Amino acid sequence: MEEDIGSGDITTENLVPLNLTGKGRIVAKQPLVLAGLDMARKVFEELDPQILFTSAFLDGQEIETGQVVLEVSGNLRALLMGERTALNILQRLSGIATQTRSFVNLLKDKPVKLVDTRKTAPGWRVLEKYAVRVGGAFNHRMGLYDGVLIKDNHIAVCGGVRKAIENIRQKIHHLIKIEVEVSDFDELQEALDAKADVIMLDNMNIEQIRAAVAIINNRAIVEVSGGVTRDNLLLLADTGVDIISSGALTHSAVSVDLSMRIESN
């Protein structure tokens, strides 16, 4: 809101009388999974604490083309000034929830967990990961601060998978799990020898993933990542992995199409 309104809305403040009231309806122009309802409410309440905000839906519900997502009534300036920010939030988060739901529906009969990644828009991580949960998937770590994930560059710096795992195990408390990313079978064996809790198979093909799952043989949680799309989702799920992580849930989601119709009283 600060970046959009700045020192004031030049157009609205010069065209709309201060005390004029009105109402607005946000309408779906395509099928979608709703996410961001409370955030949109907050936008209008910040501009007009007396705003009346109603919706027949909850986040996570599926909405069809033409349905009214929400209605707001109150100060007309507030409605006009909050329109774009509210729409941006709803369109972006509903886009993520809609895409995530399409992935989740493909996996509904599979014993595998779908999770997101840290590939989110700067400043939007909490919101985008919330939308992933609304869509029916799960969150990976929120940031660098809440989980150990030893990646290729860490391995290079430390001189190998085993050295990295052994080094960090001496420095963290016993409740933190250690996940390590491996890209070949030598690194996989090092991870097993060092007793990693979670092994991420990075950018392996289907045959390699199946072989890796057999080698791990339930000695660690198995995550697969890299190049995950709707087209290969079922193939990955059938390899026997426990977790599929996909940056596409957030970074490749397309905002849904919503419009707001405003009228004065």
Catalytic (active site) residue 177: no
10 and 134 in a single domain? The answer is: no
Catalytic pick from 48, 116, 187, 202? 202
Catalytic pick from 119, 133, 163, 210? 119
CB of 35 closer than 8 Å to CB of 96: yes
243 and 162 in a single domain? The answer is: yes
The count of structural domains within the chain is: 2
154 and 206 in a single domain? The answer is: yes
Token pair for residue 198?
Answer: 């979670």
pLDDT < 50: residue spans in the chain: none
Catalytic (active site) residue 263: no
141 and 227 in a single domain? The answer is: yes
**Residue 122 structural domain:** 105-251
Answering whether pTM is above 0.75, one says yes
Catalytic pick from 23, 41, 84, 113? 84
80 and 35 in a single domain? The answer is: yes
Catalytic (active site) residue 62: no
Catalytic (active site) residue 231: no
Catalytic (active site) residue 179: no
Give the pLDDT of residue 265.
Answer: 86
Q: What's 22's domain CATH number?
A: 3.90.1170.20
96 and 124 in a single domain? The answer is: no
Kindly calculate the radius of gyration of the chain based on its CA atoms and give it in whole angstroms: 23
Give the pLDDT of residue 39.
Answer: 97
119 and 207 in a single domain? The answer is: yes
Distances (CA, A) of 90 to 2, 43, 48, 50: 18, 11, 19, 21
Catalytic pick from 29, 38, 62, 151? 151
63 and 126 in a single domain? The answer is: no
94 and 119 in a single domain? The answer is: no
177 and 119 in a single domain? The answer is: yes
Q: How many residues in total does the chain contain? A: 265
74 and 140 in a single domain? The answer is: no
85 and 125 in a single domain? The answer is: no
CB of 259 closer than 8 Å to CB of 29: yes
Q: What's 211's domain CATH number?
A: 3.20.20.70
Give the pLDDT of residue 153.
Answer: 96
Catalytic pick from 83, 179, 181, 190? 181
Other CB atoms within 10 A of residue 174 CB:
5
